[in-house]
Amino acid sequence: MNKEPIRIAQIMGKWVGGGVESFVMNYYRHIDRSKIQFDFICDEDSSDIPYSEIKSLGGRVIICPPYQKIFKYIKFLKSLFKDNDYKIVHSHINTLSVFPLYSARKAGVPIRIAHSHSTSSKKEWKRNIIKKLLRHFSKKYSNVYFACSEEAAKFQFGNKAYDNNEVEIINNAIDVESFKYNDKIRKQIRKSLNISNDCIVIGHVGRFVSVKNHIFLIDLFKEIYKKNNNYRLLLIGQGPMFKNIKNEVERLKLSNCIFFLGQKSNIQDYYSAMDIFLLPSLYEGLGLVLVEAQSSGLHCISSSNVPKMVNCGNLVKFIQLENKEKWEKEILNADFSRINCINEIKKSGFDIKNEAKKLERKYKQYIDEKGESL
């Protein structure tokens, strides 16, 4: 008789198709789903949830009140966790994880994972006040600590917890092989966008939110374009600032050379169409798109606020945001040759096929320690 898989409650918060959602889905696609299944707990104001794919893989999507309605949120989750007898609740909403993990402890869930995917920036001082208040509770209701990088671990759980090896680093892994450069696809994508072969294409992938720093990117491109009008900029993603950024591009009369492509399910194809990749973020927990870009052999320029461990293919240059002249100089003098660093990226622990097995073993270890078995 086949045993039912263990169901793990993945607390996603507001699903908006960003990096955290990509991280969880990457692992979900590659774990042994005959042993482990995911229930995706998403706030009711979510968008772009891949219902069909999740259902086809045996998962479930459960919609809950948004965390802003805190009492309804906690009441719903406590009932959900009890009714489903979850052994593991794995929360991905950074310092806000205090609320679902409080509910999990009240419901008697034995394994409560707080997962830090982010850090902070001095420029987001209002948000930082809330983060600093809540991160004091990060360890109060959780008993397992995960983070995507050393910086994210220290930010949420503190230097002492990280130095004492209390935090597990779970790499934001991808299907590295699927991002390999493809010349045929490059030509197809460029043709579809009416971009000639001699144009130099700058790429960026990220949600249209303040932390991704699109204003800096547009202003930088404006100066690059003045010096060489053969440059083009691809912007992939969506988000609340999408319209404002697009209006700014129209105001600057750059609509003919900046492409707003929205969310893409075949994002790996667009890396092949690019010549260089930029990430001027105010901060990142890791900066997974840089791993994707390097998997396609792209040279990258990143804000110095991004964790250095992301330079797994040795193709990333880190520059301070204050030094815009250096950004311009590096772009205008960049090396556009493709470098195959797939093996280096795999060795650095970013290959999902290997990392998914590790996460499976961790889940199993935690359950076994509680007297359960898969």
**pLDDT < 50 positions in the chain:** 1, 121, 125, 128, 371, 373-374
Domain ranges for the chain, please list them.
6-173+351-369, 176-347
What are 60-65's contacts with CB under 8 Å, separation 24+?
60/7
Second CATH level (architecture) for the domain 176-347:
3-Layer(aba) Sandwich (3.40)
pLDDT of residue 137: 65
Q: Do 176-347 and 6-173+351-369 fall under one CATH topology?
A: yes
**What per-residue confidence (pLDDT) applies to 125?**
43
Contact 8, 86 (CB under 8 A): yes
Nearest to 269 by CA among 246, 288, 295, 287: 295
Mean pLDDT of the chain: 92
CATH homologous superfamily for the domain 6-173+351-369: Glycogen Phosphorylase B; (3.40.50.2000)
The predicted structure's pLDDT at residue 94:
86
pLDDT for 61 equals 98
pTM for the structure as a whole: 0.86
Residue with tokens 């060489």: 228
Residue 118 token pair: 């982010």
- What is the predicted pLDDT for the residue at 167? 94
pLDDT tens digits, residue range 44-73? Answer: 999 889 999 999 999 999 999 998 999 999
Residues 279, 304: Cα–Cα separation, whole Å: 10
Show the tokens assigned to 357: 């097995």
Q: What is the pLDDT, as a whole number, of residue 374?
A: 43
